[in-house]
Amino acid sequence: MNSFPVIAIDGPTASGKGTVASLVAEKLGFHYLDSGALYRLVALASEKQGIDVKNGPELGLLVPKLLISFKNSQIFFNGEDVTDAIRTENIGLRASALAVHPEVRSALVGLQRSFCQSPGLVADGRDMASVIFPDAVLKVFLTATAAARAERRYKQLIAKGLSAKLEYLLHDLQERDARDSSRGAAPLVVAEGAKVLETSDLLIDQAVKTVLGWYQSASV
Ligand code: CDP
């Protein structure tokens, strides 16, 4: 049982869950866990160390050795600010490839649960409701069409001054969706009891309000 209330927000790549989850956390004064950032960190660190993404056991052993810290919205690895370095498409694909290994997933469980602190937590990812926080007071599955998600990701990358091509992004996210949904370990699924929020035609603000409303109803 979680000691503090948890809102679990899962969904496919570029569904807007990160933006919505961090805004919900801010409104409630809750902590925020971006679990995908942890998988991306493992991707970056293992690439630096030349570990093959197919080598589950070696990747699993690497996780406890990683010195990860968070300061506001920045992420540090061995003291180095890697906030932007982990956001590339290449690292996203690598993260998705190594996230299939049960050794990697189980090595990250304790770290993810340690984010559940007073007064509460909003956690986003793929298996927040199904595996990491099965007792979450509210479980949300946030989604949008592949075309809407590719366009959002495109705008995000361009806004950061990174180069991007819409058709490649669409292809990459479909590949990532297929892998995240079909893997044996903690596949991306709509967890039992989760509320589905389709955001293709919703503004961020509307999605945030919907989640806050659901949380109010769930916590009375
Ligand atoms: O930003 P985007 O939604 O594309 O991905 P992310 O949330 O940063 O996660 C990167 C990759 O890590 C995903 O494609 C998943 O394969 C994996 N992941 C996971 O398996 N479980 C989680 N709880 C979070 C991410």
Ligand 1 is surrounded, with C-beta below 6 A, by: 13-14, 35-36, 39-40, 92, 95-96, 99, 125-127, 176, 180
Report the alpha-carbon distance of residue 148 to residue 11 in Å, rounded: 14
Instruction: Say if 214 falls within a structural domain.
Output: no
Closest ligand 1 atom, CA of 180?
16
| pLDDT exceeds cutoff 90 at 188 | no
Residue 40 lies inside a defined structural domain of this protein: yes
pLDDT at site 133? 97
| pLDDT higher than threshold 80 for residue 1 | no
Instruction: Judge whether residue 12 has pLDDT over 80.
Output: yes
pLDDT single digits (tens) 71-102: 878 999 988 999 999 988 899 889 989 999 99
The whole-angstrom separation of Cα 17 and Cα 199 is: 10
- ω into 5 cis (within 30 of 0): no
CATH code assigned at 19:
3.40.50.300
Cα 18 to ligand 1 centroid, rounded to whole Å:
10
Residue-range definition of the domain harbouring residue 96 = 6-205
- 211: in domain: no
Domain contains 94: yes
Assess if residue 219 is contained within a domain.
no
The stretch 38-51 carries a mean pLDDT of 96
Ligand 1 atom with the smallest distance to the CA of 12 is 3
For residue 130, report the distance from its CA to the centre of ligand 1, in Å.
15
- Going from the Cα of 38 to the center of ligand 1, the distance in angstroms, rounded, reads 9
The three-class DSSP label of residue 183 is coil
Kindly state whether residue 66 falls inside one of the protein's structural domains: yes
53 lies in some domain? yes
pLDDT digits (tens, 9 = 90+) for 106-147: 999 999 999 999 999 999 999 999 999 999 999 999 999 999
The strands making up 74-77's β-sheet, listed across from edge to edge, are 68-71, 74-77, 80-81
| Residue 220 belongs to some domain of the structure | no
Which residues, in sequence order, are CB contacts of 190 under 8 Å at separation 6+? 10, 141, 196
Categorize the per-residue pLDDT at 211 as very low, low, confident or very high, splitting at 50, 70 and 90. Answer: very high
Alpha carbon nearest to ligand 1 atom 7, residue: 36
Task: Ligand 1, residue 112: give the atom nearest the CA.
Answer: 23
- Domains held by the chain: number: 1
> Average of pLDDT values for 184-196?
90
pLDDT value for 3: 83
